[in-house]
Amino acid sequence: MTAPPSPLLVMKFGGTSVGSAPAIANAVEITRNARAEYPGVVIVTSAMSGVTNLLLAGADAAARGDMSAVHHAATEMRDKHYTAARAIIPDQGFAMQLQAEVETLITTFVSLCQAVGVLGEATPRALDAIAALGERMSIRLLAAALNANGIPAQPVDSAHLIVTDNRFQDALPDFPATTDRTRAGLFPLLERGVVPVVTGFIGATPTGITTTLGRGGSDYSAAILGAVLPAQDVWIWTDVDGVMSADPRLVPDARTIPSLTFREIGELAYFGAKVLHPKTIRPVIEAGVGLRVCNTFNPTHPGTRIVLNGDKSGALKAVTAIRGQKMVTVEGRGMLGVPGVAARTFQAVAETGTSVILITQASSEQSISFCIPASSVERVIAALEKAFAAELARRDIDRIWATDENVIVTVVGAGLQYTSGIAGRLFMSLGNIGVNILAIAQGSSEAAISMVLAAQDAETAVRAIHDLIIMGH
């Protein structure tokens, strides 16, 4: 197998970046400019914005026997794709051909939903088959737009490239098998100067059954392809100027962070920031491939670079908040020195299928507190009361209770653990505006400090901490 052109670039366009005819026109020009710098370009695309939601809502409606909602979703998708096709493809014959291909996929959607309706249930496998149709429509639209503008392109279904296990809705890739299939499938196109336009989000089992890669799936697809080809760079095109120092809806003077480490962006994603999912970054970083987040609608902006090792001065870089949490506490004087209480606590929580966001424990071992989504509190407390029924009866554990709704505010910056005075400045800043901290967690991470606050203090706290970022503390 011969090598592809070098250097090689993988670009991923998100849903808003292909969500309308003007957005697709931007993506075409970005691709044209990228080809001037990179001899080989591979594009990964999401479904048009809103389409995946329509597909999954249709599946849900079908499971409830509501086929009228399915046909309504089909009409919306048809209008969205046809309108874009007519606007970006001047040749009527080509536009009609594209519409016919989209119509075939919409017919498949309706047929799958009818099958779901007969069963009265949308299985994970069925949901993957349905959800994948959005990307299968968008690759045809974007490839047609590129061809119409003189850039040779070909749609490629990543089910033929990315080999996964059968964990439907959150499949894991088999990297050796994916490497072989991706190189075999894409190298010949790249050698001919063709831009492969690949479905994001989608893989397939070794026997060819469609799977999806879960949260951040299209970004993950780009990272996988970037790692296995390998590419020199992966650029994630979205609708913001890279990763921001805070949510601009809360903090008007939030700014783009020029670079972040793998650890920093992982902490931001975990604690609620809408940035790359940590699993997206890992294959790229491990393969030594460059990663950049940039704005389709402001393509000259440098965006944010993700790096393996960066500044560890302890400077604060970003603040984020995850809402809708409650803190559950297990406490009692009889817990002192008793082994296994923590293990039993989190075993009981795990059996409810609940993810624990943050943990803090008194050094006296008389209490354990942890944050979970507010919607899970009732069943978690019930599970804990069952697990510790004997201890509650003899008052070794005094009570198991939950706070009112909280927010977890997290400040991120590599090297915080080794920088004196950071925590003091944070706590003083919040104290000065009357915000009470209910719990703190830093642990072994050198990149983040998290604080549990009352829900009503979220915006005030985020703005105060962001002021410290702006001041360079």
Q: Residue 68: is its pLDDT beyond 60?
A: yes
Can you give the CATH number for the domain in which 230 is found? 3.40.1160.10
In sequence order, which residues have a C-beta less than 8 Å from that of residue 119 and are 6 or more positions away?
63
CB 292 within 8 A of CB 306: yes
What range defines the domain where residue 24 resides? 8-239
90 and 197 both lie in a single domain: yes
Taking only the tens place, the pLDDT of each residue in 199-216 is 999 999 999 999 999 877
Residue 421's pLDDT band (boundaries 50, 70, 90)? confident
Per the domain annotation, does 262 fall within a domain? no
Per the domain annotation, does 49 fall within a domain? yes
Cα 385 from Cα 362, distance rounded (Å): 20
Q: Where are the beta strands (DSSP E) in 332-433?
A: 358-361, 367-373, 399-402, 406-412
The average pLDDT across 149-174 equals 96
Instruction: Decide which of 313 and 167 is more confident.
Output: 167
Per the domain annotation, does 230 fall within a domain? yes
314 and 446 both lie in a single domain: yes
- For residue 202 the two structure tokens come to 């989608």
- For residue 79 the two structure tokens come to 């209008």
In sequence order, which residues have a C-beta less than 8 Å from that of residue 402 and are 6 or more positions away?
326, 327, 328, 329, 377, 381
Per the domain annotation, does 253 fall within a domain? no
Per the domain annotation, does 263 fall within a domain? no
Last residue within a domain, chosen from 239, 260, 284:
239
- Alpha helices, H only, 287-362: 341-351
Residue 355's pLDDT band (boundaries 50, 70, 90)? confident
Q: What is the sign of the dihedral through the CA atoms of 150, 152, 157 and 162? A: negative
67 and 149 both lie in a single domain: yes
pLDDT above 90 covers what percent of the chain?
A: 65
C-alpha separations of 151 from 21, 35, 147, 229 in Å = 17, 9, 5, 21
Can you give the CATH number for the domain in which 447 is found? 3.30.2130.10
The interaxial angle of helices 124-131 and 133-148, nearest 10 deg, is 10
State the total domains in the chain. 2
208 and 341 both lie in a single domain: no
221 and 336 both lie in a single domain: no
Per the domain annotation, does 245 fall within a domain? no
Rounded to 5 degrees, what are φ and ψ at 58?
Answer: -65, -40
Mapped onto helix, strand or coil, the DSSP state of residue 307 is strand
Taking only the tens place, the pLDDT of each residue in 87-135 is 989 888 888 999 999 999 999 999 999 999 999 999 999 999 999 999 9
Cα 121 from Cα 118, distance rounded (Å): 8
324 and 234 both lie in a single domain: no
In sequence order, which residues have a C-beta less than 8 Å from that of residue 351 and are 6 or more positions away?
383
231 and 334 both lie in a single domain: no
Mapped onto helix, strand or coil, the DSSP state of residue 135 is helix
Q: Residue 409: is its pLDDT beyond 70?
A: yes
Per the domain annotation, does 252 fall within a domain? no
Last residue within a domain, chosen from 239, 256, 289:
239
Last residue within a domain, chosen from 239, 274, 302:
239
Per the domain annotation, does 1 fall within a domain? no
- Angle formed at CA 30 by CA 285 and CA 78, multiple of 5 degrees: 100
Q: Residue 444: is its pLDDT beyond 60?
A: no
Q: What is the pLDDT of residue 473?
A: 46
439 and 347 both lie in a single domain: yes
Rounded to 5 degrees, what are φ and ψ at 401?
Answer: -145, 170
235 and 329 both lie in a single domain: no
Residue 469's pLDDT band (boundaries 50, 70, 90)? confident
131 and 19 both lie in a single domain: yes
Average pLDDT, rounded, for the chain: 90
124 and 22 both lie in a single domain: yes
324 and 465 both lie in a single domain: yes
